[in-house]
Structure formats: structure tokens, C-alpha cells
Structure 1
Amino acid sequence: MPDFQQVQPSPSSKVSPVVKAQLRAFVDRISLLYESSEKIPFHNFEHVSHVVMSGSKLMNRIVNPDGIDYKQNSTNVALQIHNSTYGISSDPLLQFAVVFSALIHDCKHTGLTNVELAALGTPEAIKYHNKTIAEQHSVDLAWKILMESKYKDLRACIYSNEKELVHFRKLMVNAVMATDIADKDLKSYRENRCELAFKDRAEKDIDPMDRDRKATIVFEYIIQASDVAHTMQHWSTYQKFNVRLFEERYIAWLNGHLEKEPSLGWYGGEIWFFDNYIIPLANKLNKCGVFGVSYHEYLNYAKENRKEWEMKGQAIVARMKADCDAKYAKQLALKMNEQVVVIEEE
């Protein structure tokens, strides 16, 4: 993270119309890398837009924190915010990287997990040696597009030298890789690093390396929390995306990529996910100490959604299955006939 410097707004710091046009064109181009909701019900551009907005909200909580006397000298205010946010407030490149990474993190998602992609032996699985396959593919696709000549002014606005370029790419890669929550090795590494970094959290970090480590962890938590933000928001939002994810997994089952029909473990799986990932993640937001009331909002919604799911989940799962059975009746009939043939042959 950069050392403290108060940035005074000036006309020259405004984004030019050319850069704005290139940014819009880039977003449009990235949006085309996401399949329609009919083909990929969950991992589509609506999910990504939701992640972008959630990431922006969390970043705004950091840049404009509670507990600061904004009536005092502006330099003192900026310095306090810098110290209390591990330097994140002084790093506009990181702030932009949050939104950028959220935008590109699921490019060309196939609706399949990394385990399923590895089992299929796809070209991407081979290329990335079965590690964070979808995430690495998304990064490579988006980076290749950003490097096209038509976005040169946009690139010049994002970074002005080699050091900033390396910093931006590292931020983007770290953020997107952090969304792979199924990799046990990566998960263990992140948890150990977080425990070490925030074991004795201080209001002001003297050691620059310690400050950078904490800022990196906070950055990754923003992306992780934003990626599953629907579970920590209103019940209706949680259910909207839960239904879409179920349908996506149902399609994977129909196509032979999932061994068991998803309704068989969905109810208990959601409870496990709340208890072992969502609620602990909401508590980690508090441990960082930079998100203000957002921590309470996320944790309270997570607990309420978990409680309501425990009461209503089984009926909801039955309804989701019935809806998918009806919607994909032809494909389901074919699958059932194929299974009958296999049994008879055995």
C-alpha cells in the first residue's frame, strides 16, 4: 500500500470522455463473455453486476468510515482514515481493482465447478494443471482484452508506469483467485495468514509489511463477501439467487456432470455453508475492523437467512426440484431412460 498522501481533487484528475468511452466499451465487451441466464442461470452477468455493487458498497464503507470527526482539518481526517484502513484509502488503484475484479471474475463461466472441469479434462483444465481453472481462465480472457490497442487510453488511466501495472495485475489476480473457495490448500493458507495478521490488531500499523498484509487480506475479503453477498442480504435476494444456483446445478446433473440430483443434499448443504463459510466470513469482516456497520448488516442477515432456511428450506427445495422437473421435462425423461437402459444392461 502507498504511504499517506492527501489527494486534492483537481480538474486534471477527471476522467476524459475518451477514457469513459473506452471503459464503457470494455464493460460491454466483458458482458458478452457471460452466457445468458437461460443457459447459465446463476453465473451470468446479473450475478456479476450484483457482485460489483456489493464490492463497491464495502469499499465505500472503508473509504468513508464511521468514528471519524470529519469537522477537523482535512489533512488530519485523511491521515486518520489512512491509518485505520491499512492504507487502502490512499490507494485508488486498489479501490478500482475491487470493481474491476468483480466485473471479470466469472468470465466465460460454464456452470461447472473446477472439480467437474478437471474431470472432463477440458483444455483449460490441462492448461492450468487442474488448479483454480475457471478463475485463471477468467483472468486471462479479461487481461487479453484489456491489452488490446483500442483500450490504450483506459490502460493509461489505470496505471502510468511498470510498477503500477504490476501492482494492478497482482491485485486483480489475487482477488479473482480468492473467489475459489473450494480449494482446500488455498483456504488453509488464507485462514492461517489472516489469523497471523489480525492476532493483535492495532489502530495504527507501524510496520509497512504488516500493513500491506492486512490490506491484502481485507481486499480479498471484499471480493469473497461480495461474491456470496446474496446470502447476507434480504431473504428475497438470497432466495432469488439460491433458486438460480439450484437450477444451474440441476442442469449440470442432467448433463451428467453431477452424480446426484442436487435436491438430495441441497437443504443440508445450505445450512453447512452458512455455518462453515458465510457466518464465519461475516465475522472476519468484523475482525478486520474497517467495514463499520456493514459487518453487522451482513452478519445479521446471514443469521436470519440461516434461521429462515432451517424452517422453510425443505419445502423450498421440493418446490425448486418440481419447477426444474417441469421446465426440463424432456431432458429429464431422456436421462431417466438412459439410466433404465444402463440398469437393464447390467
Structure 2
Amino acid sequence: MHTPEGTKKTTTETIMNPTVLSRGRRAGVGVAPALGSALGSALGPALGPALGPHSEHPQGPWSTLVADLALVCGMLALQFKRMLNKELSHFSESSKSGNQISEYICSTFLDKQQELDLPSLRIEDTTDNRPAKKKDVARTTSGTMSHIQGVKRALCHTNSFTGERVPVHGVETPFEDDLGQMMTQIDTWGIDIFRIAELSNNRPLTAVAYAVFQGRDLLKTFSIPPKTFVTFMMTLEDHYVKDNPFHNSTHAADVTQSTNVLLNTPALESVFTPLEIMAALFAATIHDVDHPGLTNQFLINSSSELALMYNDESVLENHHLAVAFKLLQNDGCDIFTGLSRKQRQTLRKMVIDMVLSTDMSKHMSLLADLKTMVETKKVAGSGVLLLDNYTDRIQVLENLVHCADLSNPTKPLPLYKRWVTLLMEEFFQQGDREREQNLDISPMCDRHSATIEKTQVGFIDYIVHPLWETWADLVHPDAQEILDMLEQNRDWYQSMIPPSPPSGDKVTLEEGEGDEEREEEEDEAAGGSDTDLAGDASGDASGDPASAAGM
């Protein structure tokens, strides 16, 4: 591959330079700021020759630079994972709770296959002489593999509203006026979705989706009969598991409403077509349908039917998609019958891409790709998002839905705290089940040892804040208030961490930074021992990543 002299070397070697990475780490909380610092240092020299300071149409070997960016992004994702693992290893040595948190983050948000070469976080002997664990004896064994689990018999919902009249808000409720008042805030970040669930007769997803699709005029644009839309949404909502503390239709309604607000951001005005907007909203409504309240890793470890069906790859996400598209085939449920064949194929592809991206093990790769886009935009000197190909457009939409899925910590504190309680209860129920079946209890799923406050601080520092900070850069300054709320919530949970007893070998999330900086300086003095990772990255990135866990 031909590249301008010095370009490839500048991009790959600069981004892998431990001095650059360490300098980025010291710029803020944890490992996340290294992403921006490293990319900024690498992409500037790489793109400079091709982009003039005010150029809207870059000249020069642009296709070559784009290929280099793809290579850099893959290497960056791997290096970022290595750095995160190093920080979490340091943190895990500080306390038992720290080890749990680091294991939870690594088992949930890192792609297992791409991190096989990473050192183990466990500091104890990894040899396990215990008897082999029993498999999940309760897993579903009936039915054929061609049958989509979770799809119930066709449900008739025409009796949910009288005659041909669709209720004003899509659901029959004695609180129609109060619900209507709440729906005036449907475009507001931090709306009380739990209140909507109460006022909608426990149909929050149907009510929110109906309000959003009507508000955007999507039913008229794509010739969707209101009755068909409500029938499908009620059928979809019935296939969310009501007994799940967290992954139920209220969560789906929350993600749908959050997706709608993010699509309204001024920076994205007129960027996406009506079909793309509908695809994103539809993906949000279906993204966790028939979720069993268990993680991907549990389903894999217990050799469940779903894990066998989908070969351990994004098990839940594939299942959500299969169930949703199967439900469209129910009588009176096909809301896309008015689309052309090409529109339908395009929408299906976009929805599949977006829902698969909600697999939390894909988080680091998504973040690295988004950060690359942000830094490229900065170097180009353009304040406008120019998304002129499918890859760029779907990348932004994938991250948008991913942000909506990880938006609980950015909501008003009372809502955030309620979501945390619900999620932890779902985790604890899985842990109880693992204990009963003599399986290893997953990180943060043991109700007897989990540390909720410390978990949330680590979750924000290592996962949520880096993602939202990058999104805020992309749509600057539109998401600043969301980012401010996130940081306030983080500070509250930090203040709620019980003080540890005095001990020389225990540190908090924010302690020990001096030791880390000394370690970094020693690494720098060693002379760039990590710069040879480019070859490793190329090899590792070529594998087909396997899903590790789902949320």
C-alpha cells in the first residue's frame, strides 16, 4: 500500500508511543483521556498534508489516509484495552471489592477473543482443583432449534382499544390527561419514565414509541396505519419480560426516549434521513425484547439453547433481533408494509447493525471508532458532520443508541439511583441462580459481597464518562449539560463510598495516582517498549470477535 512519506510511521508509531499515551492519561480521570491525546497527536501530522486549514474538499491521497485511519483505529482499540487492563490490575490489587469491579468491567465491556493475550487480573493462583461445575439444568431443551425462543403465539390486542379508534396516546388509561401532560416533555432529557409507566397502564414502551413516531410524522411519511403501529408495539411490549427488574419494557421505553432526544441534537440537524431516524428509533424499541435477565456470559457458560443457536456470538443481541423481526410477521403487525423492497432491506441492515452494537463487549471498539471520527473532524477544522457514506453514518447511529443504552448515569440522580437498584437486583438474581447451580458467581452478582457505590464510580470512570465525553465532543456543545449531570452523579456516588480502615495496601479509586505516574515515567524511560504493538494489533484485529457479556 502506497502512503505519503512518513505518514504511516507518524500515525502508527505516534499513537503507540507510551509517552503520548501516558500524557493523555494524566489529563483527566483514569485511562480514558489517553484516547483523545494519542489520536490528536497521531492524526494531526497524518492528515495535515491532505487537509488545508479551511479545506472542505480534501486533496491528496485521501483513500490511503482513510485506510491508515482504519488500521490506526484497530490498533488503538487494542492498545486502549491493554491500558485499561493495566489500570484495572493496579486497582484490583488494592482490595477485594476493587478486584470485583475490575473483573466486572473486563468481563462485560472487553471483547474476550481480542483480549486473550491480556494478563489475568487475578493475583491469586489461578489453578482450580475444584470439581467441574454443573451445567444449567434448567435451560430450555424443548422445541427445535429452528424455532425462535421467546416468540409466543400471536396475541390479539384489538380489544385493548374500542373499535377502530386508537387512543390519543396509543394506550387505554384512566389517566389520559396526566399522561398527556407528561408527553409534552417527550423531547426532554431526564423525563421520569417510571411515571410514564404508571400513567400508561404499564405500557410505557407503546406510549413513548407512539408519541415519538407521531411527533416526527413517521407514521404519515411511511404510510403506517396507527392501529397497525399500536398493535405491533403492544405485541412487542408483551414480549419484554415483566418480571425482570431492569431489562423490561420500561428500560426499552427509556432507551427509545433517550434515542429520540439525542437525534434532536442541533449538531445532527438534517444529517439523517427519515428512514435512518425510524431505523434508530425502531432499534431502540426492540433492542432488549425477550431479555431473560441473564448476561451473555451466563448463557454461554450454561450451554444454553440460545448460546448454541448463535455460536456464543452476541447471543442476546441476535435473539432480540430474531424475535422482533419475527413479530413483524404476526397478523396486523407489519408496520413496514408501506416501504419499498429496497427501503425495507436498508432499514433491516441498519437495525441489525445498531442492535448488535448494544452488545457491551463491543464497547471499546465502538469508542475507539467514535474517537477517531471526532479527532479527524477536529483536524479537518470542520464544525459540521459530513457523513457521506454508510460506514460513517451507521457508526454515529450505533454510538447514539449505545449512548442511550448507557444513559442511566446521566439522568437526574433520583432516576439514576432507581435504575442502579433495579440493575443490581437483576445481577443478584443471576448470582443466586449461579450459586444454586454450583456455577462461578459472576462479578458484581453476589449480593453478599458487591459494593454498589464503588462499582458505579468505576463504571463511570472507565466506561460511561469516556463514551459520553467523546459523544459530547462530536456534537459540541450540545451535550455539555448531560456530561455535567454525569459528573455530578459520579461525585455523589464517590461521596457515598464507605471510608476504608487505615491500611498501607488499600487505596481508593482516586488514590495511588502518584505511584502510577512514577510507573509511567519509568515506562517512558524504558524507551517505547510498547511501540511494537502494531504488528500484534494487526494480527489480533483480524480474528472474529466473540461476545463476552450482555447488558
TM-score by length of 1: 0.71
User: What residue is the counterpart of 1:166 in the other structure?
Assistant: 345
CA 1:314–1:180: 2 relative to 1, 3 Å:
farther
User: What residue is the counterpart of 1:156 in the other structure?
Assistant: 337
CA 1:199–1:213: 2 relative to 1, 3 Å:
farther
Structure 1 position 135 matched with structure 2 position 320: no
Q: Report Cα offsets for 1:58-80 as digits up to 9, x if no partner.
A: 1122xxx17xxxxxxxxxxxxx9
Separation (CA, whole Å) in 2 of partners of 1:241 and 1:13: 31
User: What residue is the counterpart of 2:17 in the other structure?
Assistant: none
CA 1:271–1:156: 2 relative to 1, 3 Å:
same
1:198–1:214 Cα contact (<8 Å) kept: no
- How far apart are 1:95 and its partner, in Å? 0.7
CA 1:178–1:285: 2 relative to 1, 3 Å:
same
Structure 1 position 308 matched with structure 2 position 492: yes
CA 1:22–1:203: 2 relative to 1, 3 Å:
same
Separation (CA, whole Å) in 2 of partners of 1:167 and 1:268: 43
User: What residue is the counterpart of 2:446 in the other structure?
Assistant: 261
User: What residue is the counterpart of 2:241 in the other structure?
Assistant: 35
2:287–2:320 Cα contact (<8 Å) kept: yes
- How far apart are 1:22 and its partner, in Å? 0.6
Separation (CA, whole Å) in 2 of partners of 1:208 and 1:300: 31
1:43–1:109 Cα contact (<8 Å) kept: yes
Separation (CA, whole Å) in 1 of partners of 2:386 and 2:421: 47
User: What residue is the counterpart of 1:281 in the other structure?
Assistant: 467
Gaps of 5+ in 2: 1-216, 500-551
Cα RMSD after superposing both structures: 2.6
- How far apart are 1:13 and its partner, in Å? 8.2
1:218–1:288 Cα contact (<8 Å) kept: no
User: What residue is the counterpart of 2:232 in the other structure?
Assistant: 26
Number of positions where the alignment pairs a residue of Structure 1 with one of Structure 2: 271
- Listed as ranges, the matches of 1:222-237 within 5 Å are 222-237=400-415
Structure 1 position 214 matched with structure 2 position 418: no
Larger-gyration structure (1/2): 2
- How far apart are 1:284 and its partner, in Å? 1.5
User: What residue is the counterpart of 2:254 in the other structure?
Assistant: 50
1:253–1:261 Cα contact (<8 Å) kept: yes
User: What residue is the counterpart of 1:334 in the other structure?
Assistant: none
Separation (CA, whole Å) in 1 of partners of 2:254 and 2:218: 32
- How far apart are 1:214 and its partner, in Å? 3.1
Q: Report Cα offsets for 1:14-50 as digits up to 9, x if no partner.
A: 36997111110010001111112xx310111111111
CA 1:109–1:16: 2 relative to 1, 3 Å:
closer
Separation (CA, whole Å) in 1 of partners of 2:492 and 2:364: 30
2:219–2:226 Cα contact (<8 Å) kept: no
- Listed as ranges, the matches of 1:1-346 within 5 Å are 14=220, 19-36=225-242, 39-61=243-265, 65=266, 81-82=269-270, 87-88=271-272, 91-152=273-334, 154-157=335-338, 159-161=339-341, 163-181=342-360, 183=361, 186-201=362-377, 202-204=382-384, 208-209=388-389, 212-256=390-434, 258-259=441-442, 261-262=446-447, 263-289=449-475, 292-293=477-478, 295-314=479-498
2:472–2:483 Cα contact (<8 Å) kept: no
- SS of 1:200's equivalent in the other structure is helix
User: What is the one-letter code of the residue matched to 2:427?
Assistant: R
Bigger drift between 49-58 and 264-273 goes to 264-273
Separation (CA, whole Å) in 1 of partners of 2:386 and 2:283: 29
Q: Report Cα offsets for 1:251-295 as digits up to 9, x if no partner.
A: 1111126356144243332111100111111112123227x53x1
1:105–1:176 Cα contact (<8 Å) kept: yes
Separation (CA, whole Å) in 2 of partners of 1:313 and 1:43: 26
- How far apart are 1:188 and its partner, in Å? 4.1
- SS of 1:108's equivalent in the other structure is coil
- How far apart are 1:213 and its partner, in Å? 3.2
State, as a whole percentage, how many aligned pairs show the same letter. 21
Separation (CA, whole Å) in 2 of partners of 1:252 and 1:220: 28
- How far apart are 1:155 and its partner, in Å? 1.3
Larger helix percent? 1
Bigger drift between 240-249 and 263-272 goes to 263-272
Separation (CA, whole Å) in 2 of partners of 1:96 and 1:170: 13
CA 1:302–1:12: 2 relative to 1, 3 Å:
closer
User: What residue is the counterpart of 2:549 in the other structure?
Assistant: none
Gaps of 5+ in 1: 1-10, 67-79, 316-346
2:453–2:496 Cα contact (<8 Å) kept: no
1:107–1:141 Cα contact (<8 Å) kept: yes
1:100–1:172 Cα contact (<8 Å) kept: yes
- How far apart are 1:179 and its partner, in Å? 1.2
Separation (CA, whole Å) in 2 of partners of 1:304 and 1:174: 33
- How far apart are 1:310 and its partner, in Å? 0.9
2:300–2:312 Cα contact (<8 Å) kept: yes
